[in-house]
Amino acid sequence: MTRRPFIAGNWKMNTRRDSAVELAGQLVKGVGERSACEVAICPPTVYLSAVSDLLAGSPIELGAQNLYPAADGAYTGEVNAAMLTDIGCRFVILGHSERRQLMGETDAEVATKLQAALAGNLVPIVCVGETLEQRQAEQTEAVVEAQVRGSLAELDEARAAGVVIAYEPVWAIGTGLTATPEQAESVHRSIRQLLAEMFTPEIAGQIRIQYGGSVKPDNAVDLLGQPNIDGALVGGASLKAADFMAIIAAADAVCAT
Ligand code: PGA
């Protein structure tokens, strides 16, 4: 069973049209025609189309940062899965901790969005992770287990293998603090055991689990070298082409071993 490492850049609410186009252009050039790992970038919604045009012919794939789980209709301000696939998205980030904390997104909502993503042919990247207080109270495994169970509650066994999970300890996001490779691996291992219980060991062995939280060029190799870490969801460092390319190179190096 081999899981192809997957590096995704989460641009969050950063960039303008010019900087989005420039960054995507640099990455298209840097990655070239192929890369051993899978690569995606997730620009702000309004720039998805512009970036999508630039990615034609590149192995870099496009992802959105959220969706609204309904078919077309009277949902002012929202964007659904059909619209995202229409402009070339393959992935969608769901349940990012910023959405959970700032917009009050719940596991039940993430579960509904996940179904909408799959029905719309998008690959969901489902984010989970504990806060600093929860880690200090030794609740990490329980919190992450509840998030995984809740967010995947409606997921069918037949589609489970294609879902991506991102373990992102909240205390490591945008803070410069990173989980040590051992800390991250231990949570990734427990998520995989949980997935084996929820689905089957075989399916759990196919599901990719990314790590996220201050992934940088200088810690990527050690993190990505862990047996249950199958890639990275990168925030800050994905906004600098050289840094993101270095993280892709780290994943490619892991593929080669
Ligand atoms: P960071 O963000 O790499 O800036 O910590 C990661 C994320 O929020 O996905």
Average the pLDDT over 53-58 and give the result.
97
pLDDT in tens, 62-84: 999 999 999 999 999 999 999 99
pLDDT at 204: 98
Residue 10 CA: nearest ligand 1 atom is: 9
Residue range(s) defining the domain that contains residue 131: 6-256
pLDDT in tens, 97-130: 999 999 999 999 999 999 999 999 999 999 999 9
- If one residue of 100, 165, 168 were mutated to test the ligand 1 pocket, choosing by the most ligand atoms within 8 A of its CB, it would be 168
Closest CA to 165 of 174, 175, 155: 155
Helix (H, G, I), strand (E, B) or coil at 62: strand
For residue 139, give the CATH number of its domain. 3.20.20.70
Give the closest residue (by CA) to ligand 1 atom 2. 235
- If one residue of 93, 177, 233 were mutated to test the ligand 1 pocket, choosing by the most ligand atoms within 8 A of its CB, it would be 233
Per-residue pLDDT for 187 more than 90? Answer: yes
pLDDT at 1: 54
Please tell me the pTM assigned to this model: 0.97
Per-residue pLDDT for 35 more than 90? Answer: no
Question: Per the domain annotation, does 1 fall within a domain?
Answer: no
Question: Per the domain annotation, does 138 fall within a domain?
Answer: yes
Question: Per the domain annotation, does 80 fall within a domain?
Answer: yes
pLDDT in tens, 193-219: 999 999 999 999 999 999 999 999 999
Look up 168 and say whether it is catalytic.
Answer: yes
Which residues, judged by CB distance below 6 Å to any ligand atom, belong to the binding site of ligand 1? 10, 168, 173-174, 212-215, 233-237
pLDDT in tens, 124-149: 999 999 999 999 999 999 999 999 99
Question: What distance in angstroms lies between residue 215's CA and the mean position of ligand 1's atoms?
Answer: 7
Closest CA to 233 of 88, 146, 123: 123
User: Model confidence at 256, in pLDDT bands (50, 70, 90)?
Assistant: confident
Say what percent of the chain tops pLDDT 70: 100
Question: Per the domain annotation, does 18 fall within a domain?
Answer: yes
Of the residues 96, 105, 109, 130, which is catalytic? 96
Question: Per the domain annotation, does 16 fall within a domain?
Answer: yes
User: Model confidence at 176, in pLDDT bands (50, 70, 90)?
Assistant: confident
pLDDT at 80: 98
Closest CA to 113 of 149, 152, 74, 77: 152
Per-residue pLDDT for 26 more than 80? Answer: yes
Mean pLDDT of the chain: 97
Question: Per the domain annotation, does 43 fall within a domain?
Answer: yes
pLDDT in tens, 216-245: 999 999 999 999 999 999 999 999 999 999
Characterize the bridge pairing of strands 38-42 and 6-10.
Answer: parallel
The CB density around residue 152, as the number of other CB atoms within 10 Å, is 24
Query: Number of structural domains, the chain?
Result: 1
Question: Per the domain annotation, does 29 fall within a domain?
Answer: yes
**Residue indicated by tokens 């969801």:** 233
